[in-house]
Amino acid sequence: MIRAKRVYDKPEKEDGRRILVDRMWPRGLSKESAGIDLWLKDLAPSPGLRKWFGHRPERWPEFKSRYAGELEGEEAAPALDELRAQKGKTVTLLFAARDREHNNALALLEYLARKTKSK
Work out how many domains the chain is built from and give that number.
1
**What range does the domain containing 23 cover?**
2-114
Residue 69 covered by a domain:
yes
Q: Which amino acid is at 1?
A: M
Residue 44 pLDDT greater than 70, yes or no: yes
Q: What is the DSSP letter of 23?
A: S
Residue 119 covered by a domain:
no
Residue 88 covered by a domain:
yes
Q: What is the C-alpha to C-alpha distance for residues 5 and 111, in angstroms, rounded to an integer? A: 16
- Res 87: pLDDT: 84
| Phi, psi angle pair for 82, to nearest 5° | -65, -40
pLDDT band at 118 (very low <50, low <70, confident <90, very high): low
- Res 119: pLDDT: 60
Q: What is the pLDDT of residues 50-102, one digit of tens each?
A: 999 999 999 999 999 999 999 999 989 999 999 888 888 999 999 999 999 99
Residue 84 covered by a domain:
yes
What is the three-class DSSP state of 77? helix
What is the three-class DSSP state of 8? coil
